[in-house]
Amino acid sequence: MKIALQTGLIPGGTIEDKQRWAADHGVEGLEIGSGECSAEKADATLHAYENSPVPVVSICGNPSFDFLDPSKEKRRKSIDECKQVLSVAGRLGAVGQIVPPIFGPPRLPDLSPLEDPITLEKRLLVPIVQELGDAAQAANTLLLLEPLNRYEQHLLRRQADGVEIVERAGHPSVAVISDFFHMHIEETDTPAALRAAGRHVRHVHLADNTRQEPGTGDIDFVAGFRALRDIGFDGYMAYECGVTGGDASAKEAALIKSLEYVRGCIAQATKE
């Protein structure tokens, strides 16, 4: 298991400063936002990271999240945007692009008794995921579906929900990202959920139950990391969280402390 940081959390005034800070503090991967991957910005992004001492390992989000909108035009726009980000992910050598397929409630109509919105959404999502899986495969990267919590998404909330879509799609370039913060809300047993998801887990997001850096709340990361160990996960775990502290110096100190805490949890989880 390797530790990554979203670039927005890293101290430094420039991308180069952030890259050096990450390298100096033993960070093994960087996670960037999808906004850096548009056709207009892609070349600059690739140039900015081509000599980075720490690689970009994941891209978070998509310019829009209209994959399950009633409008065919909106759906196509989100799909095409996702393909653009996946192409950049591949060129960067990243594990994949992290995509929640929708935020908020269903947008599709309730056609009961023929089909309820959830059933309709899943039927629509599977071929979309298969199309994006083809794009990911061509780019030698992954589409990573992200289950969120009930306050952000209604469709993929538990690991099993993400696994269901991955298995229905049946595509080798589609997988699941497991986020400890969302799981703390939705799962009754996070380690068991990780073990059940098994080989489908290809990336991880780290945040404590406070949505701040690991070590500031009550999530049992050692138990979670043991489950990841048991399923053979040896990939990247990227911080997606806030950082405590009033000023820049305090936030940097808190981040350094948290990195040491997570390393300690990994060591404890993997020594047995």
Q: How do the domains of the chain map onto residue ranges? A: 2-270
Reference 97, options 157, 41, 53, 36; nearest CA is 36
Mean pLDDT of 97-101: 97
What are 104-146's pLDDT values in tens digits?
Answer: 999 999 998 989 999 999 999 999 999 999 999 999 999 999 9
- pTM of the predicted protein model: 0.95
Gap between the Cα atoms of 190 and 64, Å rounded: 29
Cis peptide before 113 (omega within 30 of 0): yes
The pLDDT-based confidence of 93 (bands split at 50, 70, 90) is: very high
The pLDDT, as a whole number, for residue 56 is: 98
Please provide the average confidence, as pLDDT, over all residues in the chain: 97
The pLDDT, as a whole number, for residue 223 is: 97
The tokens describing 18, both together, are 């952030």
Q: What percent of the chain has pLDDT over 90?
A: 97
At residue 5, what are phi and psi to the nearest 5 degrees? -130, 140
What are 237-255's pLDDT values in tens digits?
Answer: 999 999 999 899 999 999 9
The pLDDT, as a whole number, for residue 272 is: 66
Picking from 104-118, 170-184, 227-241, 249-263, which range would have the lowest pLDDT averaged per residue? 104-118
What are 20-47's pLDDT values in tens digits?
Answer: 999 999 999 999 999 999 999 999 999 9
The residues facing 96 across adjacent strands are 58, 142
Q: Yes or no: say if 204 and 178 are a contact pair by the CB < 8 Å rule.
A: yes
CA terminus-to-terminus distance, the chain = 15
Fold of the CATH domain 2-270: TIM Barrel (3.20.20)
Mean pLDDT of 159-173: 98
Using only C-alpha atoms, the chain has a radius of gyration, in whole angstroms, of 18
The tokens describing 253, both together, are 């100190």
Q: Is 198 left (phi over 0), alpha (psi -120 to 50) or beta?
A: left
Q: What percent of the chain has pLDDT over 70?
A: 100
The pLDDT, as a whole number, for residue 114 is: 86
- Burial (CB < 10 A; 0-12, 13-18, 19+), residue 185, is middle
- Asked if pLDDT for residue 97 goes beyond 90, the answer is yes
Hey, how many other C-beta atoms are within 10 angstroms of the C-beta on 97? 31
Gap between the Cα atoms of 153 and 50, Å rounded: 35
Gap between the Cα atoms of 74 and 70, Å rounded: 8
